[in-house]
């Protein structure tokens, strides 16, 4: 762990002397790190480590990015050494079949265990602090976490779980979800999880494909002050999963639920009691041994089961936590997430940095909108991770945490889930904290990490993601597959990186995997985001490419419309689609208004003026229609494709993938769309 401990301060000032572009000359960044902050950043120490390892002198993190994609083998070797990754062996080969995309193999002779790297700390400092809304408070030390994981790992082994078997978690974001995943990984098995807001059909669509041997499930969960009993639903799920031989029930909202009708049912405490004092015998497996199965949103069909390897997940998360987010030992890391979103897996890996996980379960505005900021102050939060929609909701609620909360330990705010509007950048620095690293990040379930994210040593420019991920050769292509700059295009990755999926479940010849990412540009990962690289070598994301609008053949990202519209105080949220119309496409904008407001001619004209003034006349919708709600996935992303299908009279293939499928009814047979 030598790489993670704080050494004496290194004074390397990054980015000084760079000649500004014309854009930089007329604008100012919203935030710049101080010289002390730059010199104390983990990435600054990593630059020194690279010099020691390879004799490489890099002036700044821009140079580090270039080095990381031009010499990826040296970069990833240095990272695993810097982070002190525990392995049985690494082998001589770093990257085999480097010219294959997909098909390249990282550290093909290595053996390691992901959980062993997350559980190396055994002291009595906090490993997990948990808030279940305003009802439940818990605290687990690193020593206690190890004991609990040991107990469950022993129980899983005793139940006959072997390396490669699947363990499924139907859990809220509680400590037991983390314990379940780590116990599974410790014995070389594979973890997959769904949050309890998934209905029976949604769970079976996912777990039914992977045939788990064990189901670990919470008897209930909390949301918005209400208690939801899950026992009947769990019984139905188990009956639909004939592969399950044992069901472990985790108490959350009550201590002793009835296990009647639950095949192989037993309470967690009973299952782990015989094994609590055992040492964990970590099973070290090959670098690409399956670790997690993550599920796509499933809004266009049965969810894809994306298999991620242990080594690639660990290295990718270490690169993001250490270098991009500057997570240090004893930091306190929070992400507002559920177990059904990849940001949950991302947060768990912060234990490998010897940080504390701050877990929250429930509605983020319960019992009042200040709850998560109360959590930040009470638990000395250092990284506050959330969604762009949450930050916008805080703004629209009229909150100003800068006036009501200390937030003195908070160094980083991360935002993902959808593009962060420039005005929300302004809001964060004006109303939350003026001296904070605001890191808009973006990636996906597909890579269990990010393609673009923050850099604690660089300025934050309004509306821009700061940098591309170290070690990931991110580029922007036009429709012909040529790299472009300062123009909108397709986000691609041109070289292999460790956290590419091992593959898809039940895809033996890799045909589904290849079709998902490599058909558009052969030998290049095509991610499906519509983006632009900026003057500052940052990135702006305009939305998903499959949801871009094409009036008159011109491609428009949906975020280009949402940003100005949602700045209007009358508008809570919006969704835009392209409607096929008279051999062309016309833009239709749906808006959710503040309670009590109705869309009239005056407001329609105001919205159109706002769009025209902040975008172009081409962005102005042909129709603007008020709706009561907008459908979204379980992770909170709005679903343009599902709405487009409803508007065109097409079936929505997997309504169970939506958090609120009833909202689709608002878009059916709208008379406004017939003329």
Nearest Cα neighbor of 125 from 358, 313, 301, 354 is 354
pLDDT tens digits along 340-378: 999 999 999 999 999 999 999 999 999 999 999 999 999
Q: Answer whether residue 657 shows pLDDT above 50.
A: yes
The tokens describing 176, both together, are 């037991």
- Over residues 55-65, the pLDDT tens digits come to 999 999 999 99
Question: For 641-646, which contacts have Cβ atoms below 8 Å and span 24 or more sequence positions?
Answer: 641/299, 641/300, 641/546, 641/547, 642/299, 643/575, 643/577, 643/590, 643/667, 644/547, 644/577, 644/578, 644/579
- Average of per-residue pLDDT across 29-45: 98
> Residues with Cβ < 8 Å from 532, sequence gap 6 or more?
476, 486, 487, 488, 489, 539, 540, 542
Q: Specify whether the backbone of 63 is left (phi greater than 0), alpha (psi in -120 to 50) or beta.
A: alpha
Q: Structure pTM?
A: 0.89
Q: What is the pLDDT of residues 477-526, one digit of tens each?
A: 999 999 999 999 999 999 999 999 999 999 999 999 999 999 999 999 99
438 CB-contact burial (10 Å; exposed 0-12 / middle 13-18 / buried 19+): buried
> What are the tens digits of pLDDT across the range 92-121?
999 999 999 999 999 999 999 999 999 999
47: tokens are: 């630059």
pLDDT, one tens digit per residue, over 518-575 is 999 999 999 999 999 999 999 999 998 888 888 877 788 898 999 899 999 999 999 9
In this predicted structure, the answer to whether residue 464 has a pLDDT above a threshold of 50 is: yes
**Residue 612 structure tokens:** 């025209």
Please report which helix (H) or strand (E) contains residue 591, including its range.
strand 584-593
All domains of the chain in start order, with CATH: 123-310+348-363 (3.40.50.12780), 548-673 (3.30.300.30)
- Please write the tens of the pLDDT for every residue from 571-594: 999 999 999 998 888 999 999 999
Can you tell me whether residue 477 is helix, strand or coil?
strand
CA nearest neighbour of 321 among 82, 621, 115: 82
Mean pLDDT of all residues in 255-279: 95
Give 218's contacts (C-beta < 8 A, 6+ positions apart). Answer: 170, 171, 172, 174, 176, 196, 230, 249, 250, 251, 252
HSE-CB for 515 with a 13 A CA cutoff: 7
Is-cis flag, bond preceding 167, omega within 30?
A: no
Q: Residue 438: pLDDT band by 50, 70, 90 thresholds? A: very high
Which one has a higher pLDDT value, 547 or 402? Answer: 402
Average pLDDT, the chain: 93
The tally of CA atoms less than 13 A away on the side-chain side of residue 142 is: 20
Task: Give SS3 for 359.
Answer: strand
Per-residue confidence at 299, pLDDT binned at 50, 70, 90?
low
In 3D, which of 69, 71, 75, 13 has the Cα closest to residue 50?
Answer: 75
pLDDT-based confidence at 297, cuts 50/70/90? confident
Residue 9 has pLDDT above 70, yes or no: no
Mean pLDDT of all residues in 143-163 = 98
Pairwise pLDDT comparison (647 vs 301), residue with the higher score: 647
Instruction: Identify the helix (H) or strand (E) that includes residue 151.
Output: helix 142-158
Q: Residue 659: which pLDDT band, with cuts at 50, 70 and 90?
A: confident
Rg (CA), the chain: 24
pLDDT band at 17 (very low <50, low <70, confident <90, very high): very low
Looking at residue 300, what is its pLDDT? 62
Residue 8, pLDDT above cutoff 60: no
The band of 199, judged by pLDDT with boundaries at 50, 70 and 90, is confident
Residue 457 token pair:
């040593």
In the structure, what pLDDT confidence band is assigned to residue 653 with cuts at 50, 70 and 90? confident
| CA nearest to 223, candidates 138, 133, 136, 137 | 133
Residue given tokens 């209905």 in the structure block: 199
CA–CA separation, 226 and 221 (whole Å): 8
Strands (E), 345-430: 356-361, 383-387, 412-416
Tell me the C-alpha distance between 470 and 292, whole Å.
Answer: 22
Position 81 pLDDT exceeds 70: yes
Write down the H helix ranges in 309-353.
Answer: 310-318, 342-348
């Amino acid at each position: 762990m030598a790489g993670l401990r704080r050494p004496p301060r290194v004074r390397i000032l990054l980015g000084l002397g760079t000649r500004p572009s014309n854009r930089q000359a007329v604008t100012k960044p919203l935030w710049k790190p101080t010289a002390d902050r730059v010199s104390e950043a983990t990435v600054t120490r990593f630059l020194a480590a690279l010099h020691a390892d390879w004799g490489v002198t890099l002036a700044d993190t821009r140079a580090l990015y270039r080095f990381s994609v031009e010499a990826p083998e040296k970069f990833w070797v240095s990272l695993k050494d810097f982070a002190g990754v525990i392995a049985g062996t690494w082998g001589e080969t770093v990257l085999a079949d480097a010219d294959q995309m997909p098909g390249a193999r990282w550290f093909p002779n290595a053996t390691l265990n992901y959980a062993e790297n997350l559980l190396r700390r055994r002291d009595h400092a906090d490993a997990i602090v948990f808030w279940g809304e305003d009802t439940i408070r818990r605290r687990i030390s690193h020593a206690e976490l190890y004991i609990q994981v040991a107990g469950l790992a022993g129980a899983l082994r005793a139940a006959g779980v072997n390396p490669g078997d699947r363990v499924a978690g139907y859990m809220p974001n509680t400590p037991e979800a983390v314990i379940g995943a780590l116990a599974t990984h410790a014995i070389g098995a594979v973890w997959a999880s769904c949050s309890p807001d998934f209905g029976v059909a949604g769970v079976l669509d996912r777990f039914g494909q992977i045939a788990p041997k064990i189901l670990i499930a919470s008897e209930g969960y909390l949301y918005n002050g209400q208690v939801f009993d899950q026992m009947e639903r769990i019984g139905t799920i188990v009956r639909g999963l004939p592969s399950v031989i044992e069901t472990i029930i985790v108490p959350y909202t009550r201590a002793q639920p009835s296990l009647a009708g639950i095949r192989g049912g037993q309470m967690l405490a009973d299952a782990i009691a015989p094994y609590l004092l055992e040492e964990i015998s970590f099973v070290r497996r090959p670098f690409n041994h399956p670790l997690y199965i993550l599920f796509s949103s499933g809004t266009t069909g049965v969810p894809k089961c994306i298999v991620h390897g242990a080594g690639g997940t660990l290295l990718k998360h270490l690169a993001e936590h250490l270098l991009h987010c500057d997570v240090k030992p004893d930091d306190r890391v929070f992400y507002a997430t559920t177990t059904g979103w990849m940001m949950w897996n991302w947060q768990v890996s912060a234990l490998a940095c010897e940080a504390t996980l701050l877990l929250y379960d429930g509605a983020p505005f319960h019992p009042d909108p200040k709850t998560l900021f109360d959590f930040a102050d009470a638990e000395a939060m250092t990284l506050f991770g959330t969604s762009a929609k949450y930050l916008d909701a805080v703004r629209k609620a009229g909150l100003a945490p800068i006036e009501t909360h200390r937030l003195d330990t908070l160094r980083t705010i991360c935002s993902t889930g959808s593009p962060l509007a420039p005005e929300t950048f302004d809001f964060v620095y004006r109303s939350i904290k003026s001296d904070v690293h605001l890191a808009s990040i973006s990636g996906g379930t597909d890579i269990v990490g990010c393609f673009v994210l923050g850099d604690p040593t660089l300025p934050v420019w309004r509306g821009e993601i700061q940098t591309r991920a170290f070690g990931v050769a991110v580029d922007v292509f036009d429709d012909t597959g040529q790299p472009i700059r300062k123009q909108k295009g397709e986000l691609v990755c041109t070289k292999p990186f460790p956290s590419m999926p091992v593959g898809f479940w039940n895809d033996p010849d890799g045909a589904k995997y290849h079709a998902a990412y490599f058909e558009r540009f052969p030998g290049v990962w095509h991610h499906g985001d519509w983006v632009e690289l900026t003057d500052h070598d940052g990135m702006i994301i305009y939305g998903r490419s499959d949801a871009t609008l094409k009036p008159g053949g011109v491609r428009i990202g949906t975020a280009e419309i949402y940003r100005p519209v949602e700045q209007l105080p009358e508008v809570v949220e919006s969704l835009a689609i392209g409607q096929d119309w008279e051999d062309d496409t016309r833009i239709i904008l749906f808006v959710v208004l503040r309670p009590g407001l109705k869309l009239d001619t005056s407001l329609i004209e105001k919205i159109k003026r706002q769009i025209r003034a902040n975008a172009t006349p081409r962005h102005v919708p042909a129709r603007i229609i008020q709706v009561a709600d907008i459908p979204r996935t379980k992770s909170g992303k709005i679903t343009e494709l599902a709405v487009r299908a409803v508007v065109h009279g097409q079936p929505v293939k997997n309504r169970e993938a939506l958090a609120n499928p009833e909202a689709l009814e608002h878009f059916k047979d709208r008379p406004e769309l017939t003329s």
